[in-house]
Structure 1
Amino acid sequence: MHRRWLLLPLLSSCASAFYPYHGGDEGESNSKRFVPLNLDSLSAEEPGVVTLDLKKIPTKRDNQFPVVLSSKPSAPNAMAISQDGQDYTYFSIMNFGSKGQEMYMLVDTGSANTWVMGSNCSSNACKIHNTFGTVDSTTLQTTTQTWSMAYGTGQVQGVVAKDTVSFANYTVEMGFGLASNASDDFSSYPMDGILGLGRPSSDQLGTPTIMQVLDQQGDLSENIVGIHLQRNADGAKDGQITFGGLDSSKFKGKIGYTKTSSQTNWEIAADDAGVDGKAAGFKGKSAIIDTGTSYVLMPPSDADTLHALIPGSSHNGEIYIVPCSSTASVYFTFSGVKYAVSPKDYVGRPSGSGCQSNIVGHQPFGPDEWILGDVFLKNVYTVFDFDKNRIGFGTTSDTDDASSASSSAASSATSTASGTSSSGSAAASSAASSALATSASESSTSTATATATTGSSQTNSASSAAATSTESGDSSPFGDASSSSNAGSEMTVPVLAVLVLALVTGFMV
C-alpha cells in the first residue's frame, strides 16, 4: 500500500493542513503529496480573530510560531499537548539528547515514524526551527542508514540516529530519523519533528517505535495511550497524552471500544453517521482515526448525504457552506454508540452568506473510507490500544448529552487505571496558564499533535471489523490530485499560516 500526504491550506486564514494518506494507487510505497486546499482567507480584522500575545523564548528559532501552551499534567505518565491557538496544530515538547534539547513534536497516530530536524540540515525550513545534532548531545549516535519521505514539492530525508529521549516521566534510548533536508513546506509549521504513534507495521525507519521501546522496558501498565485534545475557543489548556493508562477526569461514563479493521492503521468500522438524531443510513463504512488531521474528510457522496441533513447547507465542489449560527449536532456511530461533533468544531470560517464546513467532501482512499481528524477528536477522549487492537472513545461533558448508546453493544468492565485524577467530568482545569510562545517553551514539557491529517488507511473494508463496547471509570479545493498543487492563498497571520498541520503526520506503509 502506498501513502500520500496532502497539504490542506486550512479553511481559514493563514492556515494549511498536513494530510498524509495512502491509497491503493499507482506510485512508490513511500510517495506522498501535498495538495493545497484553497479556501477564502480571513483577515485579522474580521470577527472571530483573536490576537494572542507572543512570549519570545531565546532559542534557535528565527521565525515566530504562535502557540498556546497547555498546563503541565499532574500525572507522571502524561505529557501536555499544546496547540497553535486555532485548533489546527497540536504538539508536545520532548527533550532529546544529553543536554535535553527541546523539540516540538507533532503527535501522529497515522504513522509510527519518529524524526527530528538535524543540525546539519541547511534547508530553509530547518533554519527557522529547533534542530538536533552532536552539539546538542554527547551521546548521539548516527548511522549510515538513510531514509527518505517524499512530499509534493520536496522531501524530508536523512539518516537513522539513536539517543536518549525524555518526556513525561520517561527517559528512553531509541532510534529516530535525523533529517538533513526538509522541503520548504515545513517552514510554515511550528513542529521540529514528528512523534509517530501509529501501528508498528507502518514504521519505515527499521527501528523499534516509541511505544515498542516503552513496552519492552516494562514502563507501561498497559500498552495504550489516551489522548485529549483541547478546544482553544473554550479557553481550555488541558490537552494531554497519557502513556500506559487513561485520565478518567477527561471523560464521563464509559469508554466504548471498537476493534481495528487493519493491523496497519488505526482504522475501525463505522456503524453510521447523522445529524440531530436523524441517521444518514451509511453501510459498510470505516474511519481512520488520525490526530494528525485537522478536518473530517469523507468521499463527496457521503459528505453530500451528511450535509443534506444540516439545515441551510449548500456546497461548491468539495467545500460545503453551513449557517454560521447552526446548532445542528453531527454525530458518528461506533459499536452502537453515537459520538456528537459540536457546531463549534464543524462550523468553520465565514464565507459569503455562511460559514465553511470543516467536514470536507474529499476521497483520499476508497469510497467507503473516512478520516476523522481533530474536528471529531476534540469531542471525545480517545484511547489507542496497541495490544488489543482497538480504539476507544469516551464522551466529554460538552458532548455527553448528545452522545448516547443506541444499541446494546457487548459491555465488559475494562477499567484501565490512569495516573491522573478521579473520574468525573471533562472539565478543562488547567492549573497553570498556557502562554502563547513563538517557539518551544523551555519550561514546558508538552508533546505536540498537529491537526494535520496523518491518518493512513488501509483499503480493507472496515465493515468486517469486530466491535466491542467496554466500560472504564468552487469546485475542487484540492486541485488535481495527480499533481502537486501550489499552496493556497497567502496567510495574513505570520507563520501561523500553517495551522492545520492536519496531515503532518505521514501515513506510510
Structure 2
Amino acid sequence: MELLPLLLCSVVLFSSVVSCEEKLVRIGLKKLRFDQNNRVAARLEAGHAREGLRAALNRNKGDPRDTDIVALKNYLDAQYYGEIGVGTPPQKFTVIFDTGSSNLWVPSAKCYFSVSCFLHAKYKSSQSSTYQKNGKSAEIQYGTGAIAGFFSVDHVKVGKLVVKDQDFIEATREPGVTFLMAKFDGILGLGFREISVGDAVPVWDNMMKQGLIKEPVFSFWLNRHVDEEEGGEIVFGGVDPNHFKGKHTYVPVTQKGYWQFDMGDVIIGGKPTGYCGRGCSAIADSGTSLLAGPTTVVAMINKAIGASGVVSQQCKTVVSQYGQTILDLLMAEAGPKKICSQIGLCTFDGTKSVSMGIESVVNEGDERSSGAVNDAMCSACEMAVVGFTALDIPPPRGPLWILGDVFMGRYHTVFDYGNMQVGFAEAA
C-alpha cells in the first residue's frame, strides 16, 4: 500500500530580509498555513520521491571563497526547499535541494500545455543577458510521471554565490498532480555527475570548480520544531556549528552516484535485528520525506511503534474500508495523531500518539511508545500515517535503506565531497 507521511500544518516562506554574520549568508523566513491542496501535494510528492529513486536504482544498477548558507522551507515535513536565482538579473525559483538526483530543472516560459507551469515561476531566456542556447532534449523520470524539456545554460545564484555557465533543464512538460499543487518550482540535484541526465555538470560540481566555496563540503540542518519560523538550512562550503552537538561520525561513500554508504545493524528497542549482518547499503536522501528499508525490518519497526507489518491483511482491510475516510480527514486538516481514533479504530489516552512511536525508534534512548491499544485494525491504521515504508532492492545494489528527512531531521548531516564521506551528528 502507499503510505501517507505524517502531515503537519504550517510552511515557512522567505522574507526579503538578508543578514550577514561571520561571513555567512542568512535568509529570513516567515510562516504560512497550508490549504487542503498543499496537503495532498506533499503526500503525493513523498510517494513519488520513493518510487523515483526505486526507478533510478534500477536504471543505474550497472554502474571570492566563502561559506554560504541558504535557508530552507519546511513543507509539511515532506520536503525542505529554498530559493535560487537563474539568469541575469536573477529570476527567482523555489527548489528542492535533493541529494538523490543531480540535475537542476525549473519550469520554462515555453511550457505551454502543462497546467502546473502556469501556477509556478517560469524561466524566460529572453530576459537574461547571460543566457546561452543549448537545445538538447532531456527527460527525468519521477516514479509515476516525468518532466521533459531541453537544456539551456545560464548563471545560477545560490545564496550569494553565482555559479556561471550552469547547464540546467527548462521543463516544458510537467504532468501529474504532484507538480500542479506543489509549492516548489523545480529541483536542484546535489548527487554525483554519474547519475546526471545528459551528463550535465551539477551545480555543486561547478561551485567547486569555480572556486566559490571554502571547502568541498555542504551540510543540512532540518528543523524538526514546526512551531519555529526557521525550516532549516543548507550550508555550502562548511558547517554551521550552531546546529549540531558533539562530533560527527563519518562513513565513507561506497559508490558515487548517490551519497551511498555501508550501514551496520538495525537496532530496535535496544536489540539488534541481525538483518544487516552480511551488509546493507544506505543513501542519505534529502529529497525523500520517509525512511525506507527492507520489508522485513520495516515490519519490525512498525510493530515496535504500534503498527502492523506492511504486508498484513489488516493493513489491506483498513485501506479498502477506511482509505477514503483517512484521506478526507487529512484534507480536512484533521491532526494525523488523532485520525485513527476519530474513525473508531484506536483508543488514545490523550497523551500519546503515533508520532511518539516514530520518535521512539528514530530518537536514541526515547522510551515512549505509541498510545494505541493492541488491536490489529488500530495498528494497521497507524501504519497508514507513519513515516516508515518498505523498499526492497535486490542484490547487488541491495538490501538498501533510504534515509530521508525523517532521519536527517534527527541528525545534522555533512556531505564531504573532498574526503568522499558522509557525517552524522545529533542535531541541535
Shared fold per TM-score greater than 0.5: yes
* Residue type at the aligned position of 1:203: S
Q: Secondary structure at the match of 1:231?
A: coil
Q: In the alignment, which residue of structure 2 is the partner of 1:378?
A: 409
Question: 1-side partners of 2:187 and 2:369: how far apart?
Answer: 24
Q: CA deviation at 1:329?
A: 5.4
Q: CA deviation at 1:274?
A: 2.0
* Residue-by-residue CA offset, 1:139-170 (whole Å, 9 max, x unaligned): 22221211112345543111111111112220
* Residue-by-residue CA offset, 1:38-97 (whole Å, 9 max, x unaligned): xxxxxxxxxxxxxxxxxxxxxxxxxxxxxxxxxxxxx9611101122x211210100111
Question: 1-side partners of 2:291 and 2:219: how far apart?
Answer: 20
Question: 1-side partners of 2:371 and 2:253: how far apart?
Answer: 29
Q: In 1, are the aligned partners of 2:393 and 2:399 still within 8 Å (CA)?
A: no
Q: In the alignment, which residue of structure 2 is the partner of 1:394?
A: 425
* Residue type at the aligned position of 1:358: G
CA RMSD of aligned residues (A): 3.4
* Residue type at the aligned position of 1:314: S
Q: For residues 142 and 384 of structure 1, do their structure 2 counterparts lie closer, same or farther at Cα, with a shift above 3 Å needed?
A: same
Q: In the alignment, which residue of structure 1 is the partner of 2:263?
A: 270
Q: How does 1:271-286 map to 2 (within 5 A)?
A: 271-282=264-275, 283=277, 284-286=279-281
> Which of 298, 302, 312 is 1:307 aligned to?
302
Q: CA deviation at 1:256?
A: 0.6
Q: Secondary structure at the match of 1:147?
A: strand
Whether 1:324 aligns to 2:353 is yes
Q: In the alignment, which residue of structure 2 is the partner of 1:408?
A: none
Q: Secondary structure at the match of 1:260?
A: strand
* Residue type at the aligned position of 1:275: I
Q: How does 1:287-302 map to 2 (within 5 A)?
A: 287-302=282-297
> Which of 91, 98, 113 is 2:88 aligned to?
98
Question: 1-side partners of 2:370 and 2:260: how far apart?
Answer: 21
Q: In the alignment, which residue of structure 2 is the partner of 1:131?
A: 122
Q: In 2, are the aligned partners of 1:341 and 1:379 still within 8 Å (CA)?
A: no
Q: In 1, are the aligned partners of 2:147 and 2:175 still within 8 Å (CA)?
A: yes
Q: In the alignment, which residue of structure 2 is the partner of 1:178?
A: 170
* Residue type at the aligned position of 1:388: N
Question: 1-side partners of 2:60 and 2:220: how far apart?
Answer: 29
Which structure exhibits the higher relative contact order, with contacts defined as CA atoms closer than 8 Å and separated by 6 or more residues?
Answer: 1
Q: In 2, are the aligned partners of 1:253 and 1:394 still within 8 Å (CA)?
A: yes
Question: 1-side partners of 2:369 and 2:252: how far apart?
Answer: 26
Q: For residues 168 and 129 of structure 1, do their structure 2 counterparts lie closer, same or farther at Cα, with a shift above 3 Å needed?
A: same
Q: How does 1:397-436 map to 2 (within 5 A)?
A: 426=428
Whether 1:358 aligns to 2:387 is yes
Q: Secondary structure at the match of 2:101?
A: coil
Structure 1 unaligned residues grouped into runs of 5+: 1-5, 31-74, 333-338, 397-425, 427-509
Question: 1-side partners of 2:292 and 2:393: how far apart?
Answer: 8
Query: In the comparison of the two structures, how many residue pairs are matched?
Result: 337
Q: Secondary structure at the match of 2:418?
A: coil
Q: CA deviation at 1:206?
A: 2.6
* Residue type at the aligned position of 2:415: F
Q: CA deviation at 1:360?
A: 1.2
Q: In 2, are the aligned partners of 1:276 and 1:329 still within 8 Å (CA)?
A: no
Q: For residues 7 and 191 of structure 1, do their structure 2 counterparts lie closer, same or farther at Cα, with a shift above 3 Å needed?
A: farther
Q: Secondary structure at the match of 2:364?
A: strand
Question: 1-side partners of 2:181 and 2:148: how far apart?
Answer: 18
Question: 1-side partners of 2:365 and 2:99: how far apart?
Answer: 20
Q: In the alignment, which residue of structure 2 is the partner of 1:222?
A: 215
- TM-score normalized by structure 2? 0.70
Identity of matched residues, %: 26
Q: For residues 280 and 346 of structure 1, do their structure 2 counterparts lie closer, same or farther at Cα, with a shift above 3 Å needed?
A: farther
* Residue-by-residue CA offset, 1:360-403 (whole Å, 9 max, x unaligned): 1232565511111001110010001112111000112xxxxxxx
* Residue-by-residue CA offset, 1:214-241 (whole Å, 9 max, x unaligned): 1111122211101101124342515101
Q: For residues 377 and 151 of structure 1, do their structure 2 counterparts lie closer, same or farther at Cα, with a shift above 3 Å needed?
A: closer
Question: 1-side partners of 2:246 and 2:159: how far apart?
Answer: 26
Question: 1-side partners of 2:366 and 2:261: how far apart?
Answer: 22
Q: In 2, are the aligned partners of 1:384 and 1:390 still within 8 Å (CA)?
A: yes
Q: CA deviation at 1:7?
A: 8.8
> Which of 235, 241, 250 is 1:248 aligned to?
241
Q: In 1, are the aligned partners of 2:106 and 2:170 still within 8 Å (CA)?
A: yes
* Residue type at the aligned position of 1:296: L
* Residue type at the aligned position of 2:390: G
Q: How does 1:41-120 map to 2 (within 5 A)?
A: 77-84=68-75, 86-120=76-110
Q: In 2, are the aligned partners of 1:112 and 1:202 still within 8 Å (CA)?
A: yes
Question: 1-side partners of 2:248 and 2:281: how far apart?
Answer: 19
Question: 1-side partners of 2:229 and 2:364: how far apart?
Answer: 19
> Which of 148, 156, 180 is 1:165 aligned to?
156
- TM-score normalized by structure 1? 0.60
* Residue type at the aligned position of 1:247: D
